[in-house]
Amino acid sequence: MPQHRQGKQTIIFQNAPSIISSAAVVGPKEGRGPHGNGFDLVLDDPLFQQESYEQAEHTIFQEACTRCIEKTGMQKEAVQAMLGGDLLNQIMAASLSARELSIPFLGLYGACSTMAESLLLGSILVDGGYASPVICAAGSHFCTAERQYRFPLEYGNQRTPAAQWTVTGAGACLLAENTKGIAHITSATIGRVVDLGIRDPNNMGAAMAPAAADTLIAHFKDTNTAPKDYDKIITGDLGLVGSGILKELMDKNHLSLFEQKYMDCGLCIFDPADDVHAGGSGCGCSASLLSAYILPQLSSGKWKKVLFMATGALLSTTTSQQGETIPGVAHAVILEGG
Amino acid sequence: MQHHKKSAKQAVIENYAALVRRVTPKSKVGQGCLRSFWVGGAICVLGQAIADFGINYLGLTASSASTFASMSLVFITALLTGIGIFDRIARYAGAGTVVPISGFANAMVSPAMEFKPEGWVLGTGARMFTIAGPVLVYGIASSVIVGILYYFIQW
Amino acid sequence: MLLYLKVFLVGGLFCAIGELLILKTKLTAARILVVYITAGVLLSALGLYGPVVRFASAGATVPLTGFGHALAQGAISGVQENGLLGAFTGGISATAGGIAAAVFFGFLAAICFKPRPKDF
């Protein structure tokens, strides 16, 4: 057994890397949501004065990274590695941002699980003494996701009740060796890819929920903990359908108290008056809310220990059209205050 | 053994599908059909009014008037799509805007606008047919088959 | 006035059936378009769609089934006038107005307008 490992899927960080800074940039609809005040920048225009929505997505991503680094007073040259990804084909928003920032870059793709994936890998780099500080980021854009995965913006179609609304936004966190920061990352659980045969690309919550349950159960087992040991258990973007399913799956596994501790970023990023059907989705959903809402609760001491788990539906339009089912993945990181 | 294992996995998938069906909110069928009905009906009435106008005031024959009505509806759809209103109507009306010729027009106009950043040739020019292309393929191909059959059997 | 009522009821019915298909089956809107046009061609060839057009006029010609009907009738009259060649030229000739309008106005819209995000 490798020495920093516990159980089947969990990593324990001996030195508990710190999140020393974070930032989030979002679009107008997210800015209208209940946590609108927590974001560092709310755009009036989802195009962000760019020529295309892809450029806007890249600029939002880059802006989140830049603001995250600036808050510490550091120069971007001091950052030793950048880990991140987005939903564009070939993760172009992250790659273009890395071109501009010229920080050594490892591109990640985990669909909407990318924020947790980047924190997990970033913590390994920092904890192992391979790099510090490290910036971890993820972002998405409603308009680019629509044209890539669904239909043109002006195409007249009705959304199904289970459909989710891709968040326009990006979030970034700067990790450094253990110091007084916003929060520490004490352990993480790498998720398995789970697929229970969902084919409907308009019901991604249902596709991701089994992976979320799988990772949660593995984490509780590996660390010998239960929902009562956490102040909050947070999923990325399961939305209305996915979180409903997750609660039932947890119930079946006799994990009591789960429902009282549970929160889903997708269900609390938008104003309920905005008709977004089953809630928010996209890498930017959990990434921006982590910075705007979750980390402030930890730094203020309101929450002491939080399980942050971003969930991803690993589909492409090609495999979907070929009738392939939609695999899901979920990675968890444990955040502790101070 | 192999067979047993497979069916156990199948059972898990079926159980999960039942859970998903139970948790997923249902579409409002009655409301959807009613909205489609009145908006779709209204679009057809507009088409009829345009055709009658063509016959009474422009001196068109019945068949040219029908073509004139189709073209006018296509133009109105293109305009409403361009100024960003069509998708709002469609969101309310569902099939009410999809089934009339307006649905076909919107399916061509919206990608033409959307993919402009990818260039006039491979963006607007090529992607215009991403949704409407299949309609032309199956419509034209089946009409050619009908024509060939008619040539041989003349029913 | 009675004609307009028939147009409204028949046209509305075509759309309501389409909505039912979207909600009750796995058919997406794009597939509905294909189903409707092909169904129109088929029904027209079997002589079943003509009476509907005579009854409800634009109520039957404006839905995409009417587009299919025009294609099929175009192919048939093409064969009557030009033989086998007409099977290929008839359908598109009969529907050229609608198709050319969609291409032209689509291109014009691309020149004049920019897509905007759905802010609802």
CATH number at residue A91: 3.40.47.40
Q: Do both A111 and A254 map to the same domain?
A: no
Q: If residue B53 lies in a helix (H) or strand (E), which one and from where to where?
A: helix B29-57
* CA atoms of A152 and A298, how far apart (whole Å): 40
Bond prior to A133 in cis (omega within 30° of 0): yes
B110 close to C115: Cβ distance less than 8 angstroms = yes
Please write the tens of the pLDDT for every residue from C68-78. Answer: 999 999 999 99
C71 close to C50: Cβ distance less than 8 angstroms = no
Could you count the other beta carbons within 10 Å of the beta carbon of residue A12? 17
Residue A248 to residues A102, A312, B16, B20: CA-CA distances in angstroms? 45, 19, 11, 11
Of A145, A176, A207, which residue is a domain's last? A176
Q: Do both A34 and A121 map to the same domain?
A: yes
Q: Do both A258 and A292 map to the same domain?
A: yes
Tell me the pLDDT band of B41, cut-offs 50, 70 and 90.
Answer: very high
Instruction: Find chains touching chain B: ≥3 CB pairs under 8 Å.
Output: A, C
C35 close to B95: Cβ distance less than 8 angstroms = no
B135 close to B107: Cβ distance less than 8 angstroms = yes
**Residues of A with Cβ-Cβ distance to C115 under 8 angstroms:** 143, 152-154
Neighbouring residues of C120: CB distance < 8 A, sequence distance ≥ 6:
A274, A275, B88, B91
Tell me the pLDDT band of B3, cut-offs 50, 70 and 90.
Answer: low
Residue A252 to residues A162, A258, A275, C45: CA-CA distances in angstroms? 23, 11, 32, 57
B-chain residue closest to A244, CA distance: B23
Q: How far is C79 from chain B (nearest CA, A)?
A: 6
Counted domains in chain A: 2
* CA atoms of C16 and B89, how far apart (whole Å): 16
**Which of A:108-137 have CB within 8 Å of B?**
none
Name the token pair of A264. Answer: 């889903």
Tell me the pLDDT band of B7, cut-offs 50, 70 and 90.
Answer: confident
Question: How confident is the model at residue A276, as a pLDDT?
Answer: 83
**Residues of C with Cβ-Cβ distance to B49 under 8 angstroms:** 4
Neighbouring residues of C52: CB distance < 8 A, sequence distance ≥ 6:
C10, C60
Please write the tens of the pLDDT for every residue from C29-60. Answer: 889 999 999 999 999 999 999 999 999 999 99
Q: Do both A201 and A270 map to the same domain?
A: yes
**pLDDT exceeds cutoff 50 at B1:** no
Q: Do both A146 and A233 map to the same domain?
A: no
Q: Do both A87 and A155 map to the same domain?
A: yes
Average pLDDT across chain B, whole number: 93
Tell me the pLDDT band of C116, cut-offs 50, 70 and 90.
Answer: confident
Instruction: Find chains touching chain A: ≥3 CB pairs under 8 Å.
Output: B, C
Domain that holds residue A74: 5-176
Of A176, A202, A220, which residue is a domain's last? A176
Of A150, A176, A202, which residue is a domain's last? A176
3-class SS of residue A106: strand
Segment C89-102 shows an average pLDDT of 95
**Residues of C with Cβ-Cβ distance to A27 under 8 angstroms:** 117
Question: How confident is the model at residue B4, as a pLDDT?
Answer: 62
Please write the tens of the pLDDT for every residue from C1-36. Answer: 899 999 999 999 999 999 999 998 878 888 999 999
Q: Do both A324 and A224 map to the same domain?
A: yes
Q: If residue A67 lies in a helix (H) or strand (E), which one and from where to where?
A: helix A53-70
* CA atoms of C116 and B81, how far apart (whole Å): 10
3-class SS of residue A139: strand
Q: Do both A21 and A155 map to the same domain?
A: yes
Please write the tens of the pLDDT for every residue from B74-115. Answer: 999 999 999 999 999 999 999 999 999 999 999 999 999 999
Question: How confident is the model at residue C26, as a pLDDT?
Answer: 79
Pairing of strands A169-176, A5-6: unpaired
* CA atoms of B131 and B108, how far apart (whole Å): 7
Interface size between A and C, measured as CB pairs under 8 A:
21
> Could you give the count of Cα atoms lying within 13 Å of B137 in the half-sphere of its Cβ?
9
If phi > 0 it is left, if psi is from -120 to 50 it is alpha, else beta; for residue A295 that is: alpha
A115 close to A290: Cβ distance less than 8 angstroms = yes
Predicted ipTM of the assembly:
0.94
Q: Which residues of chain A have pLDDT under 50?
A: none
